[in-house]
Amino acid sequence: MVYQRRETGVKYVLSRTLTGRAYLSFQNRPSPAEVQLATSRWAPTFPFLELLLGCDSAVRECILTVTDTDGHILRYTAFYTEDSDLSQNPSILYVDSGCSWKGSIILMRVGRSNNLVNFRRADRRNADAIIQQ
């Protein structure tokens, strides 16, 4: 499938899929997120998050650095949307009952060379801990 970005006119092809952790506003529990990467010859690769988050609101991103229990430094990217018209996100309430987030969050792991990589089994625990913080 070929997509074209409006602002640049560059054509992208969805190439491969990476796994992350999704806290979507229309789901009751956190779930694995399969995010497709859009690639092009003329532009950098980026995750095509609109397939999961929708195009209704702006998708923002934040880099998070976490130290796990073994002392390893891990980096994650949080892609999120905020929408005050929605009710509280039930998948985040499942992890932390005191949180009042309205919108969706997708966490992806960042590898050594600043590329996104697949989530591992231990990353699910870290992702839930990040949401609780």
Q: What are the angstrom distances between the C-alpha of 2 and each of 9, 15, 77?
A: 12, 10, 25
**Strand, helix or coil for residue 31:** strand
Q: Can you tell me the distance from the alpha carbon of 48 to that of 17, in angstroms, rounded to the nearest whole number?
A: 10
Alpha helices, DSSP H, located in 15-115 = 50-53, 90-95
Closest CA to 126 of 110, 112, 114: 110
Residue 131 has a pLDDT of: 81
Q: How do 60-67 and 46-47 pair as beta strands?
A: unpaired
Q: Phi and psi dihedrals of 123, rounded to 5?
A: -70, -25
Q: Please answer whether residues 61 and 47 qualify as being in contact, where contact means their C-beta atoms are separated by less than 8 angstroms.
A: no
Residue 13 has a pLDDT of: 66
**pLDDT in single tens digits along all 133 residues of the chain:** 444 555 555 566 666 788 888 888 888 888 888 877 777 666 666 667 776 776 667 778 889 888 877 888 889 988 888 877 777 878 777 887 777 788 888 888 888 887 788 888 888 888 888 888 7
Q: Can you tell me the distance from the alpha carbon of 1 to that of 61, in angstroms, rounded to the nearest whole number?
A: 25
